[in-house]
Structure 1
Amino acid sequence: MPEIPESFHADVHGDTVIDADQLVRIISLHRGFLYQHLYAAACLLRFKTAGMHRLLVERDEDLEAVLPGRHLYLQVKTRSRPLQWGDVSGAVDGFAAVRARHTEGKRSGQPQLVIVANMPPGPQLAAKMEAADWPGDVTVLTPQAAPPQEWLPPAWSDLEEGIAWCTHEAAQVPFSSLAPLTLVWKLAARVVYACTGHGDQAFTADTVEDLHEQFVKELQTFPVLAHDYLPQADEPALLTDDRVRLITGFSGAGKTAWAAHAAQHCPEPLTYFDTAALTADAVAGGLARELAARHLNTDQRTGLPHASGIDLLRAVHHQLDGTSVAVVLDNVHRLSATELKQITEAMPTARLVLLGQPRPDQTTLTAHLGITAESLNGWNADRVAQVLADAGAPADAATVVRLITLTGGLPFYVRNAALLAQNHYAHDTARMCQALTDRQHTAPTAQDLILEETFEGLAPQAQTTASLLALAEIPLAEDELNRLAQDAGLGPKDCARGLRTLAGLGVVQRLGDSLTTLHDATRALATDYIPQHADTQHQLDLTLSDILHDSLTSGSAEPRRLVRWARLLARTEQTDQLLPLASHDYFFDQSFAVDLKPTLQMVADDHAARPIDRFDALNALATLALDAGDSAAHKQLTGELTVLADTHHEDWEIRETVVLAGHQMHQHAYDRDTKALNAAYLAARAALPKDSAARRILRYNQAKSLYQAEHYAQADTITLNLVETYMAHLGLEADDIVGASVEQVAARLSSADTDLDDCKRLADCLALRARCRRQLDQPFGLAALHALKFYQLAQAWRHFVTIGQDIVDDFVELGDLRQAMKLLDDALLPAARGQGLADLLLAVRAQRAVVLAHAGDFATALTEIDSLLNYHVPSRQAQEINNQKHLIEQLARLERPGPG
């Protein structure tokens, strides 16, 4: 459950070396290579130009460059503010001892200290540097100053500038087959490796030349990436402390591309070996010859015994004793578990990364090797949105999520789907997704072609089991799956056997709480195997509906289950259960509500249906129109409700009176007719009991309508009275809420028989009062924060996020950026993600980008806002995101004015 921060004005200390959010961004985007590592790589790129003898990388990331007659001591510092004397005093004072050692002849060469910094000196330090007593052999190199020696790389303002400089410099290195940026990353990775104390910490002319040749040989063997690489979600490191690792995934999951890209950032020597074109017997011998060619000299190769296969691999490994060896072995699913075990045992000190597709004997293999299989997670929503936008088929957030569900986010499948939308569906990704879901696409997909072979080879019980999990769409417990399988003629033993087969092939995934689900990439194809008889399909839908209803009423309020149940009610036309659901406030907070409009419209148009059912359907449709701001549709539906009420007024009770009056008042607000609005309120109130819940609801609808009609003062007066009424009704005092956590408020309410709907209504009143006061430019105290708490208590997550965004704006206006970010990261983002509020998630992320910019992290803010522009959103939201981008750019310009 998201948390609301209770400390609103915590101290913010801005004297860290680099902003925490910026540090996270750099580590994630640049594999942990910080400014210092990149500067060391820049020195290596200038090694030959400088005529350098040696570059020493210390564990504290300081550098020593030994040149003819000179000895440079380089200290690299990054700051988020101008450089102060305190930042450099330790280095300047400590250099006296270093200078003395050179004077005494204990070290050769003329010493010089160069402090490299990304920020200019502050006034105090600048004055010291200009003073006569400033040491002549100490230089502070900043982006505004020229290097003291021509070969020395300049100081850069930020990491991005450094990457650009290094990439340009790397282009001068005479290895045309090695991309400049790749060379930069490999050198930076080797520096990181040296800083940790691994390997040799001193680089000489020979070792630098050897490094270039080694990088070329390593990366030549990896397959060339067909596209610019887009990282998958939470990618693992290529090499870890584990000696043997197994990375599995369907063909198209991007395993080889991941390894090839990660190799560009890996500091250790790597050997890539593909088993695809070899027989199992030839793999060990082929790998032995590849390792010998890569790592052994002529004498060592000549001394190898006349052997083949595993014996030759053992002999090569023996010769490699003391050499760090890492091997990426691709397409290992072609080898048996026994053969792979022999290879790993023949190389007991080498690190092996095994890449392959899921296999029936995978459990046996991992048990033999004593490891747990890993997998790549596919692209996240931003990556998928980027690929679709690049293909000219941009999609909204909900469609992007839907495509991930259809493809598992597997890179090859997503790229293929993007081309399909572009070439066969007139750039309409949503229409393509619907066709794939309905299995009515006419152009074959790479996904189908790849996975059909797997499904066609399954036993019938495994095919049926997969199809039932596809039908469910959400993870099922074992007893739930067996209950569904019974309608498909499948007993518990056959179902269990099918699950074991599917698990071995990676088709199903085991989740926590003993739940099982299909791998998303297989879901669409698995629906082809659902029993085709119409009666059986209908019965399966009904049984699944009952399963979900039982779990929801027993306390499992998992959002996806509610979504699936509501859609099943519509598909099976179980309007007796759908209409009560559509009459509840909670229904209209759900993203799926609008998808049920056709079923609701069907009931509303059915004059043979019960009047009360038509009334509930019209009410739901009118509320959806109101929420969408469709005044014309709302007016028409309110008119139909009024006619229905006039015709069947004898059937109406209190609820119907309140509902109809609410819509009528909102319609009068559209027309700015406050006289008719208040008349509708008074007419309905006369029919309601005094001090009843119905009167409180009616009164709130009056206030909301008055707000809509821009009568803010009158609406404010009503909401204040309602807040006091609801607080008394719930048995709460102001002191019970101020400074209390949500859990503490819940504990105070637990003793009474509290209706959570009343918590939601109190939150509505508090939120409306805060908005009225904003419009009146008057203080509203803690009303918005208290609304946030009660929305959380009522689990009204859409309202929770919306009012939370208002509070973030308030924090920004107060200058409390720390609390603004805390509320976004700890409460609003988790709520939007966890509840599947895709539309609000984009808005919250855009708001977070603006807060980052206010905090000075412009690079992260622009990266985030640019990723959001890949989504297809309504024109109003697109304009808002563009405005937020312009604001971020403006803040960046104010922070960093140009020269002059």
Structure 2
Amino acid sequence: MQSDDQLNTVDVLDPAQLKRIESLHRGFLYQHLYGVGCLLLAQAAGVKEVLVELDEDIELSTDAGRVYVQVKTRSQPLMPGDVAGALERFEQIRKSHGPEGRSGSAKFVIVANQPLGRALQEQVDEEKTPSDLTYIYPGSKAPPPEYLPPAWVKLEEAAQWCVDLAEKLQFSLLSPSALTWKMAGLVMLASAGGNGNAKHVFRTSDLPGLFEQLIVQLQDFPTPPASYRPQQNEPALVSAERVRIICGLSGAGKTTWAAYAALHSPEPCAYYDVGDLPGPAIASSIVRELASKYSQKDPEGIRKILLPGASGYEAIRAFDRFLEQAQAPLVVVIDNAHRVPVAHLRDLLNATRHIRFTLLCQPHENVRELEAVMTLRRETLLGWDLDTVARVASDAGAFGSAQAFEELRTYSGGLPLYVDSAVAVAMSEYGGDIEALCVDLGQQSNVVETAQEVILARVYDGFDEVTQNTLAIVSLADTGLTHEEVVRLLSATLKLSQGGAAAAIKKIQATGTVEVFGAKTLKVHDAVRTLGLRHLELMGEPVITEALVALKELLIRSLEKSRDVSRFSLLTRVFIRLHDVMTLIGLAGEELFYEMGISVDITSSLKRALDADELNPHEAFWALDALVFSYMREGRFDEAAEPLSMMQQLLDTHGFEAREQIAWAMRKVLLASDQGRADEVEQAVAYATPKIPDPDYRRVFDYNHAVALWKLKRHKAAEAMCEKVVNEYFEILGLTPKAVMGKNSDVLWEVIKRPPNVHEHIKHLADALEVYAKAREGQGLKAPLQRIHAMKFYGMVEGYESIVRVGQDLADEFVGIKDFVGAKEVMEQHVLPVVTGAGLIGRLVQVRSQYAVILARCGDHQGAISEIRRLDPYLEGVEDWQKQELHGQTLLIGSIISESRRVAFRSQVGAVGRNEQCPCGSGRKFKKCHGT
């Protein structure tokens, strides 16, 4: 099994360099784990010392002499060139052993994670290697010496071997996994000559004490789960900062993070939960706990620290000097530090200068005060990302679409305890259906409470009425509002003065349930918003309506200044809550609304209005038009037929004007072409053509006609019509294709003309360029430039959906001409960031499976396998055609990797007769093995 490590998709200047760096560190970790294995074997094998990173990677000192070990990690079988440098260095070391040099004999070992290539294997089989040289590799016939571990293929295998051996040490207070990773950290530190270990040496006589020391460091930490799942951008436990605050709601996973991080820390760590201990007793309690752990190393020194009559602060100050003089680092994790009065916590921290402290806190006024008096800034755990939430749910047996998992992540804030609890409720009450659970959570109708609701309800109920009401009102916004906007919202809804509203904001910030972005933008934490909205329902419908109207007005005012997708999405939901049907009709018919990646169900509101028969004929026509447009945008053409027929009935009854008649004709053209009915397309075109009032209408209609021609596979005619439309839009904007070359979207904004409705013109130009490219593709021609230009223009108007769609087509076009690197760059630089940034969760599976195939074509086989396996949790929630597509992509990746390995193997072994035995050692003929 390959690992499920998260694929690194961060924006880097040189992805190839990143890959080299990752490979380098994998090699270092393999070497460090091999060193751990040597330490675990040392006592029983009679090894006196284990040295790391001196003349060789690892050296073992025995009574007979010294063993020099070179560790190699490769992706292919070991070739002579891989070991040439090591053999030269072995010869120099060999000469250093003699009467006037190093005492004892010298033995040399090359350890590799891959088998020997044919040339090296022949040397070993024919005994052409030096007698003092041994190769250890997977599948080797001879077992390794008793003082050396075997060669492992993968890091997971290496870690598990060390853990299995550590279990035999029978230290009941320390898990084998903890011992393994702590030892790996110490080997890494010794390799760098750190922690006073300038000689890079571990003496076997010191190992029992070293193991015991590690037990002392970790025995008080809570045991982390066996399969720990890191949070987003998780911080390291060891930091250059002497005092750190890790702050988060109960259930955020702070203690688990600290316990897991301590397992991998190369420095000693101690854990202390202050609980309800009185503030004045904190210092003395901590120093006695810590000092007792060091008493075996220096009992006299510890006795001097614990002098009778010394205050806790004097003792901790003395202990701090003791550690500093001994050059002994120490990280102290204090849990529930928010319960300690700030004055006592400040005195504890100020009494030390060497010990580093990590304070685990829940949101509390004490934390804000401590930040102020100690000039500190809290760090927060960001919760699990979407992939992790999906994996947790899938592993528990739950299922859902990517959108459902995203709703669960948003509802729970991604906090581990809340996610686990919600998944448990889904399994027990909803048959594992995450989507059904989220629907009920959104409507506050779930019967069984989650841990989140139980914990946070207790917190929420403890707030005073003003704080509860303020949080409820601000919870209406799922995006950040400025301080001034919140003041206006509270003033209008709760009838507070500006000063009173500002005071209320300070009160909710003090609760720690509000996230602050930058200097002035704030939002209620996602995990708390549900309780806030529940409380809002209790405040009564008049208050809710007043709050929605006030929120609508301030959002409209802000959107007039800047186009913020998150705010536009929120405003749309406000319109739905206010039952503003006419505004919703206008939004549902706007292409740019869908382009911005806004996931809001307007169609259900329009259906309710139509079913209630509360619209006049003209309003009903445009409501139906909006439904048809929405269905067609989503590819649901079969559902568009009925509302389109109803539009025609209204036209027949009421006539209406040219605008309505042309709108119906355009929808009819698209539906008929999707059904392959060319005659109906031409009839609708003939019906509309005389009614088109101006060039703007003409261009839009011609574009839709071109789409129909493309669907009917009349590609040449579609290309010609698109080319005409494209040229007209270029002229309107004052551009030429040549002028667009080499310019990004922001630069184009500076050079274009700005006619009325400029956003619509830009969007229509991009649409026409896309169909132009498809029409050329249908003729077997290429059009990468048109797609690149289309993506630029979509970017200018925030057409996120179309950027992704065209980007995927462009990547496929690059794959078609075998420019796999170009395809990878398109996905990494233009498609994946937009899917993530714009929240296009519905496209996540399709885009990432395509990216996985491209990674495989680029030779990043591990990355391709890892990426495609990260999509496993989403499989149950996708439609059948998506499952088939994902299955096909998985098979294609396997085929690409197999072919690549065959080609690489043939290149390595050279010419081999088809009927000869395959050099891989399978025993089969070459033609039936790697020769196929």
Same fold (TM over 0.5): yes
Q: Which secondary structure state, in structure 1, belongs to the residue aligned with residue 153 of structure 2?
A: coil
CA gap of 1:479–1:396, structure 2 versus 1, over 3 A, is same
Contact 1:397 1:838 in 2 (8 A): yes
Correspondences of 1:790-829 after superposition (within 5 Å): 790-829=793-832
Partner residue in 1 for 2:540? 533
Q: CA deviation at 1:232?
A: 0.9
Cα separation, 1, equivalents of 2:79 and 2:548:
70
Q: CA deviation at 1:42?
A: 2.4
- 1:792-826 Cα offsets, whole Å, 9 max, x none, are 22321101101111222233343333332222222
> 2:182 is matched by which residue type in structure 1?
K
Contact 2:658 2:692 in 1 (8 A): no
> Is residue 2:372 matched to residue 1:370?
no
CA gap of 1:90–1:33, structure 2 versus 1, over 3 A, is closer
Cα separation, 2, equivalents of 1:659 and 1:23:
58
Cα separation, 1, equivalents of 2:202 and 2:818:
48
Correspondences of 1:687-702 after superposition (within 5 Å): 687-689=691-693, 692-702=695-705
Correspondences of 1:351-362 after superposition (within 5 Å): 351-362=356-367
Cα separation, 2, equivalents of 1:513 and 1:616:
44
> Is residue 2:439 matched to residue 1:437?
no
> 2:247 is matched by which residue type in structure 1?
T
Partner residue in 2 for 1:472? 477
Cα separation, 1, equivalents of 2:123 and 2:762:
63
Correspondences of 1:171-570 after superposition (within 5 Å): 171-199=167-195, 200=197, 201-225=200-224, 228-276=227-275, 278-297=277-296, 298-303=299-304, 304-307=306-309, 309-320=312-323, 321-322=325-326, 323-486=328-491, 487-512=493-518, 514-530=520-536, 532-555=539-562, 557-570=563-576
Cα separation, 2, equivalents of 1:561 and 1:13:
34
Cα separation, 1, equivalents of 2:567 and 2:55:
53
Contact 2:338 2:366 in 1 (8 A): no
Q: CA deviation at 1:137?
A: 4.2
- 1:347-394 Cα offsets, whole Å, 9 max, x none, are 331111111212213222123333221111111111111222233332
Partner residue in 2 for 1:875? 880
Cα separation, 1, equivalents of 2:62 and 2:755:
81
Deviates more, 1:658-667 or 1:340-349: 340-349
Q: Which secondary structure state, in structure 2, belongs to the residue aligned with residue 472 of structure 1?
A: coil
Cα separation, 2, equivalents of 1:865 and 1:237:
28
> 2:442 is matched by which residue type in structure 1?
T
Name stretches of at least 5 consecutive residues in structure 2 with no aligned partner: 1-12, 903-919, 923-932
Cα separation, 2, equivalents of 1:754 and 1:90:
68
Q: Which secondary structure state, in structure 1, belongs to the residue aligned with residue 542 of structure 2?
A: helix
Contact 1:788 1:804 in 2 (8 A): yes
Partner residue in 2 for 1:41? 36
* Sequence identity percentage: 33
- 1:248-306 Cα offsets, whole Å, 9 max, x none, are 11111111111111111111122111111533344333322221221122444445312
Contact 1:605 1:614 in 2 (8 A): no
Higher relative contact order (CA 8 A, sep 6+): 1
Partner residue in 2 for 1:843? 846
- 1:436-467 Cα offsets, whole Å, 9 max, x none, are 33333332332232223332332333222211
> Is residue 2:655 matched to residue 1:673?
no
Q: CA deviation at 1:720?
A: 3.7
> 2:681 is matched by which residue type in structure 1?
L
Cα separation, 2, equivalents of 1:740 and 1:265:
47
Partner residue in 1 for 2:62? 67
Contact 1:238 1:259 in 2 (8 A): yes
> 1:860 is matched by which residue type in structure 2?
G
Q: CA deviation at 1:327?
A: 1.3
CA gap of 1:417–1:33, structure 2 versus 1, over 3 A, is farther
Partner residue in 2 for 1:5? none
Partner residue in 2 for 1:118? 113
CA gap of 1:333–1:893, structure 2 versus 1, over 3 A, is same
Contact 1:478 1:514 in 2 (8 A): yes
Partner residue in 2 for 1:3? none
Correspondences of 1:539-618 after superposition (within 5 Å): 539-555=546-562, 557-592=563-598, 595-605=601-611, 607=613, 609-618=615-624
Q: CA deviation at 1:235?
A: 0.7
Q: CA deviation at 1:62?
A: 2.2
> 1:708 is matched by which residue type in structure 2?
K
CA gap of 1:136–1:775, structure 2 versus 1, over 3 A, is farther
Q: Which secondary structure state, in structure 1, belongs to the residue aligned with residue 66 of structure 2?
A: strand
CA gap of 1:67–1:641, structure 2 versus 1, over 3 A, is same
Contact 1:678 1:702 in 2 (8 A): no
Contact 2:508 2:514 in 1 (8 A): yes
Q: CA deviation at 1:687?
A: 1.6
Q: Which secondary structure state, in structure 2, belongs to the residue aligned with residue 883 of structure 1?
A: helix
Cα separation, 1, equivalents of 2:312 and 2:261:
29
Deviates more, 1:163-172 or 1:196-205: 163-172
Q: Which secondary structure state, in structure 2, belongs to the residue aligned with residue 306 of structure 1?
A: coil
Q: How many residues align?
A: 879
- 1:712-751 Cα offsets, whole Å, 9 max, x none, are 4443443344334433444433322344444444444247
What is the alpha-carbon root mean square deviation over aligned residues? Answer: 3.0
> 2:684 is matched by which residue type in structure 1?
A
Q: CA deviation at 1:840?
A: 1.4
Cα separation, 1, equivalents of 2:128 and 2:425:
71
Deviates more, 1:675-684 or 1:169-178: 169-178
Partner residue in 1 for 2:690? 686
Contact 1:60 1:195 in 2 (8 A): no
> 1:91 is matched by which residue type in structure 2?
A
Q: Which secondary structure state, in structure 2, belongs to the residue aligned with residue 93 of structure 1?
A: helix
> Is residue 2:653 matched to residue 1:647?
yes
Deviates more, 1:69-78 or 1:84-93: 84-93
Cα separation, 1, equivalents of 2:641 and 2:887:
33
- 1:551-571 Cα offsets, whole Å, 9 max, x none, are 11222x221110111111122
CA gap of 1:586–1:752, structure 2 versus 1, over 3 A, is closer
> 2:445 is matched by which residue type in structure 1?
Q
CA gap of 1:816–1:46, structure 2 versus 1, over 3 A, is farther
Q: CA deviation at 1:125?
A: 6.9
> 2:207 is matched by which residue type in structure 1?
V
Contact 1:170 1:184 in 2 (8 A): yes
> Is residue 2:31 matched to residue 1:58?
no
Q: Which secondary structure state, in structure 2, belongs to the residue aligned with residue 74 of structure 1?
A: strand
CA gap of 1:161–1:492, structure 2 versus 1, over 3 A, is same
> 2:411 is matched by which residue type in structure 1?
L
> 1:686 is matched by which residue type in structure 2?
P
Contact 1:421 1:428 in 2 (8 A): yes
Contact 1:52 1:66 in 2 (8 A): yes
> 2:242 is matched by which residue type in structure 1?
R
Partner residue in 2 for 1:6? none
> 1:246 is matched by which residue type in structure 2?
I
Q: Which secondary structure state, in structure 2, belongs to the residue aligned with residue 647 of structure 1?
A: helix
Partner residue in 2 for 1:19? 19
| TM-score (norm. length: structure 1) | 0.91
Cα separation, 1, equivalents of 2:496 and 2:378:
30
- 1:468-517 Cα offsets, whole Å, 9 max, x none, are 21012221112211111122222222222222222233111211262111
Contact 2:565 2:598 in 1 (8 A): no
Q: CA deviation at 1:432?
A: 2.5
Cα separation, 2, equivalents of 1:114 and 1:370:
54
Name stretches of at least 5 consecutive residues in structure 1 with no aligned partner: 1-9
Cα separation, 2, equivalents of 1:751 and 1:591:
25
CA gap of 1:21–1:616, structure 2 versus 1, over 3 A, is farther
Q: Which secondary structure state, in structure 2, belongs to the residue aligned with residue 471 of structure 1?
A: coil
